[in-house]
Amino acid sequence: GGLVEVSGLTWRPYGRRDPVLRDLTLTIPAGQRVLLVGPSGAGKSTLLRAVGGLLETADSGERTGAVTIDGMPAGSSAGMVGMVLQEPGAGIVSATVGRDVAFGLENVGADRTGMPRVVAESLRAVRLDKPADTPTSALSGGETQRLAIAGALALRPRVLLLDEPTAMLDPDNAASVRAVVDEVTRDRGLTVVVVEHRLGPWLDLVDRLLVLDRAGGIVADGCPGEVLQIH
Ligand code: ADP
Ligand code: ADP
């Protein structure tokens, strides 16, 4: 089996006739990097939330099927999955870089004595070479996204979910985020699912391209060259 198992997942928001996700089944092995694409409204964000274990808490609807991470229901153990959203700053909760990375650790009741080391390591991993007391408001969009990744990494997740992490960034900042995602996922063997509309820059970084259609099903799935028929 894979690290992430989605089996027969159907999800229909209350008040909608048609499901957003329709009988979706998919296996993601540990360490695989997946680019998830499809038209707007296809259910990409919904699928990420399902893997993150947030579908029940953040959305109201009718769900059937199962999502497990390492055999456990998604969302049942804190810190298994890290999530970064499109809007830089959406996940930033603290006034300083150090406090922000420490926030998640404090939430899960991590040992405080080891925290400065984990915070420093996480900032180094995303190449955010700033003192811990740097105001989060002083960061560029790309740095803010890298800070969000650092916050996720501090919890030592197995899976990193990125929902259009570079959509709001200029090309240089976008490149810095991709480079960091590439590096940290290789170094740590993390499993990654990234949603992005501009797929070109990501194609070399991923092992697999997964295409959803408007009807909430998978229309293509394979290595990028295969799916795009590049020979
Ligand atoms: P994508 O990320 O592919 O653009 P989404 O997963 O954001 O698609 O949304 C898919 C569809 O589900 C959209 O039509 C959206 O309006 C609808 N949807 C998503 N979440 C909810 C919700 N909590 N309640 C009602 N409708 C929702
Ligand atoms: P506070 O004084 O409010 O705790 P700090 O900025 O001193 O705020 O610390 C915020 C977090 O950053 C703390 O949880 C600590 O673990 C971490 N931290 C503090 N100093 C450093 C440092 N020099 N390098 C890395 N992390 C640090």
Q: What average pLDDT values come out for the chain (231 residues) when binned by 10 residues? A: 95 93 97 97 96 84 94 90 92 93 91 93 95 96 96 95 97 97 94 96 96 93 89 54
Measured CA to CA, the distance from residue 192 to residue 201 in angstroms comes to 16
Q: Which of 10, 12, 14, 45 to mutate to test the pocket of ligand 1 (most atoms within 8 A of CB)?
A: 45
What pLDDT is attached to residue 89? Answer: 87
Distance 143 CA to ligand 2 centre (A): 18
Pocket of ligand 1 (CB under 6 A): 13, 16, 20, 38, 40-46, 59
- Rg (the chain; Cα; Å): 17
Interface predicted TM-score (ipTM): 0.73
Adjacent-strand bridge partners of 62: 12
- Protein residue whose Cα sits closest to atom 3 of ligand 2: 99
Query: What letter does residue 130 receive in the DSSP assignment?
Result: -
Q: Which atom of ligand 1 is found nearest the CA of 40?
A: 4
Considering the entire predicted model, what is its pTM? Answer: 0.90
Pocket of ligand 2 (CB under 6 A): 96, 98-99, 102, 115-116, 119-120, 132-133
Distance 93 CA to ligand 2 centre (A): 15
Please answer whether residues 31 and 203 qualify as being in contact, where contact means their C-beta atoms are separated by less than 8 angstroms. no
Which alpha helices (DSSP H) does 97-223 contain, by range? 97-107, 115-125, 141-153, 171-188
Which helix (DSSP H) or strand (DSSP E) does residue 65 occupy?
Answer: strand 61-69
Please answer whether residues 96 and 62 qualify as being in contact, where contact means their C-beta atoms are separated by less than 8 angstroms. no
In the block, which residue shows the tokens 């198992």? 5
Measured CA to CA, the distance from residue 84 to residue 161 in angstroms comes to 6
